[in-house]
Chains A and B, each alone.
Chain A
Amino acid sequence: MNSFDTHPDDETGPDRRLADRLRSLAMPATPPALEVGVRRRIRSRRTRRTVHASGSVLALAVAVSVWTPWREAPAPVVRHTPPAPLAPVPAREIPADELAVLFAPPPVDSLAILGGRNEQFVAALNRLEDVK
């Protein structure tokens, strides 16, 4: 077997024979449209990357907009039911004698009572003066 830095062509024996026989094998010619295939692959991979990136950004935007972590938790919705309308209470007929009592003037004049009390206080004070 040949040494590490030499070519098989520089050798003789099995290495040389193997090289010669391998080169005698038919080898198809390079296809002329290879570069077209390369360009098509580059284009399609770019398109795929763009679609993936757009899809990822869109999905992220949708997720964030649904989640909305910057907002506070929404307050629980309380439904206020309007109070039921009050049923009209039928007015009670007041008897005439009660009406007379209700609207009659008070039985005692309050100023007359106060005046009487004052006179009694004065009389009492006078009596106390006399006792002294």
Chain B
Amino acid sequence: MASVYRSDERNPGPTTSEAVVDDDLLRRCQRGDATALSELIRRHQDRLFRVAVRVLRDPARAEDAVADAFAAVWFRCGNWRGEAAATWLHRVAYRVMLDHARARRRWWRLFTPAWASNEAAAEPGHDLDQQAYQSKRLEQAVATLTPEDRILIHLHYFEGQSLADIAVVLRVSRDALKMRLSRARAHLREALGEDDELF
């Protein structure tokens, strides 16, 4: 079932009380409390699933990746050393998603001929209005980005996270993150073409 994610549902980031709850839940996970894991899943699954869909572009594979990510959180929570729990959890999850994306790329190249991996480009037709056409083109342009850049674009533009927060989660320097974002935007501009009014 597809639903449109409205901007007013955007998660602006954990507040202090939410961060305290996440810390407590992760601490309980370290002690083997399975109900704490259930609560963590409930709190973070929507956001992580959206990122996974953006990175993997397939809801079924995204579900697999997010389930793997939470399993990894459960087994690795002993390594958590007091930083913000949500930051640590999301970092672990993004790493699992990128592993899924890389595995997919390897197998995809092996067993798929080059012509089959190119999706049909969106063409304005009678059944597509202008907005749907632009959305489709943007979706295709985002798909041409690397999985790492897709995460970055999604977190910043879709989830509305500041670059400072993203830099902490992805453990990259501010300069490196700015450069990556600039490169990703340039790639999107190129993929969309000069006629698109987005840039």
Smallest CB separation, B117 vs chain A (Å): 21
Is B23 an interface residue, CB under 8 A from the partner?
Answer: no
Q: Of residues 1 to 45 in B, which have CB atoms within 8 Å of A's CB atoms? A: 1-7, 10, 12, 37-38, 41-42, 45
Of A32-40, A81-89, A101-109, A117-125, the one contacting chain B is: A32-40
* Consensus secondary structure, chain B interface: helix
- Please choose the segment from B62-70, B79-87, B118-126 that sits at the chain A interface, where 4 or more of its residues have CB less than 8 A away: B62-70
Q: Mark A1-15, 1 if CB is under 8 A from B, else 0.
A: 110111111000011
Q: Is the CB of B70 within 8 A of A23?
A: no
From B70, which residue of chain A is reached at the shortest CB distance?
A38
Q: Chain B residues near A95: list those with CB within 8 A.
A: none
Q: Which residue of B lies closest to A18 (CB)?
A: B157
Of B4, B10, B46, B162, which one neighbours A24 at CB under 8 angstroms? B4
List the B residue with the shortest CB-CB distance to A40: B67
Assess the A41–B67 pair: CB atoms within 8 A: yes
Q: Is A52's beta carbon under 8 Å from chain B? A: no
Per the 8 Å Cβ criterion, residues 132-186 of B in contact with A are 134-135, 138-139, 142, 153-154, 156-158, 160-164, 174, 178, 181-182, 185
B residues in contact with A22, CB < 8 Å: 138, 142, 153-154, 157-158
Count of interface residues, chain B, beta-carbon cutoff 8 Å: 54
Set B41, B158, B199: member contacting A14, Cβ < 8 A: B199
Q: Are A8 and B160 in contact (CB under 8 A)?
A: yes
User: Measured between alpha carbons, how far is A9 from B45 in the docked complex, in Å?
Assistant: 23
B53 contacts chain A at the CB level, 8 A cutoff: yes
Instruction: Tell me if B162 and A37 are in contact (CB < 8 A).
Output: no
Starting from the known contacts A21-B198, A42-B74, 20 additional A-B residue pairs (CB-CB under 8 Å) come to: A7-B161, A17-B198, A18-B157, A18-B185, A19-B157, A20-B7, A21-B134, A21-B135, A22-B138, A22-B142, A23-B7, A24-B4, A24-B135, A25-B4, A26-B135, A27-B2, A29-B2, A31-B49, A34-B70, A45-B71
Interface pairs (18), CB distance under 8 Å: A4-B164, A4-B174, A9-B10, A18-B188, A20-B7, A21-B134, A23-B4, A26-B3, A27-B3, A28-B1, A28-B53, A29-B3, A30-B45, A30-B49, A34-B66, A35-B41, A38-B37, A41-B68
